[in-house]
Amino acid sequence: MEVPKEVDFINYNNLNNLIIFGGIMVRSTGVTRAQKDSEIILSWLTNKQSIHTQRQYRYIIQHFLEFTGTDLAEISVEDIQDYIKSLKLREQKISTIKAKLMVIKSLFSYCLKTGYLLLNPSVLVNNPKVNDTISQKLLSALDVKRLMSHTDNLRDKLLIRVMFGLGLRVSEAINLTWVDFSIDDEKVNLTIVGKGNKPRTVLVNPSLWQELQGLRKEGIDYLFTVAKRNTPMKRNTAHNMLKRVGKKAGLGDSLSCHWLRHSHATEAIKGGCDLSLLQQSLGHSSITTTQRYLCLRKNEGSGTYVDI
């Protein structure tokens, strides 16, 4: 069968989902029962493990579709490009724009794979280049100690220490429960189910483990709770706390919880941690993601290790 020119960008693994009717290529049922955009979007979102991710992706796609004012099948390359331009005009950060475009690309890719759409216009839209600003979001161990000394209670102090000391994402830290910890041969291990529902195990410093015992309350499963209830802290609560504490500590109010994860990685490398172990501890799928921390060591160079 000769494929019409207008479907050059079809994923040819999906040709079984296409039929020719009256000389026109149309979609068959494919591997999805979805018959309208709302149904395929719901199917796509269901594959996302995190409720937070589902909500965030739903909001981004809803905003994108409101901007285009058309169905997924009618969206063109120019529609997506115009959307990106509108985000730039609103002075959104390049990193934010790139993240939104990746969500749009994910949806179109899913629609193509399931046979819901014949074309994926998003593959022709280039990702905006993001300047690496991680080096501007680093805290030293001394900075972190200053943060902890300006907290109002033990919960906030230990949340900061856990995110920095273990390199956890804020969502991972606030959802920690006591059953996530295990002691094997006098070593304390913490099992994390992270991004993409991928489990990993990190080693907990004995002094941190001892200090965490101060958070234990009878009948309470979570370490970092709201008041005396068995309810974990909210992400916004953690972020707002860090901004407030950062301002009090003289570090500004632009800090975010992810800065602590970045800082953990750079401090670990400076201390001699090898990349493969750091990748395992952070839960990165690819070591390429971990390697970006290699270039963030200011005021250092290999020349200082060579004497002639």
Catalytic residue list? 169, 195, 258, 261, 284, 293
Query: Distance (Å, rounded) from C-alpha 64 to C-alpha 104?
Result: 8
CB 118 within 8 A of CB 9: no
Alpha-helical runs (H) found in 203-256: 206-212, 235-248
Interhelix angle 154-166/257-270, rounded to 10 degrees, is: 50
Query: Distance (Å, rounded) from C-alpha 232 to C-alpha 175?
Result: 6
Nearest to 54 by CA among 103, 98, 94, 9: 103
Nearest to 108 by CA among 97, 122, 128, 124: 122
Write the burial class of residue 246 (CB in 10 Å: 0-12 exposed, 13-18 middle, 19+ buried). Answer: buried
Q: Which residue has the tokens 């990106």?
A: 84
Write the burial class of residue 79 (CB in 10 Å: 0-12 exposed, 13-18 middle, 19+ buried). Answer: middle
* Alpha carbon of residue 194 to chain centroid: 10
With the CA atoms of 294, 297, 299 and 305 taken in that order, what torsion angle do they form, in degrees rounded to the nearest 10? Answer: -50
Give every CB contact of residue 24 below 8 A, 6+ residues apart in sequence: none
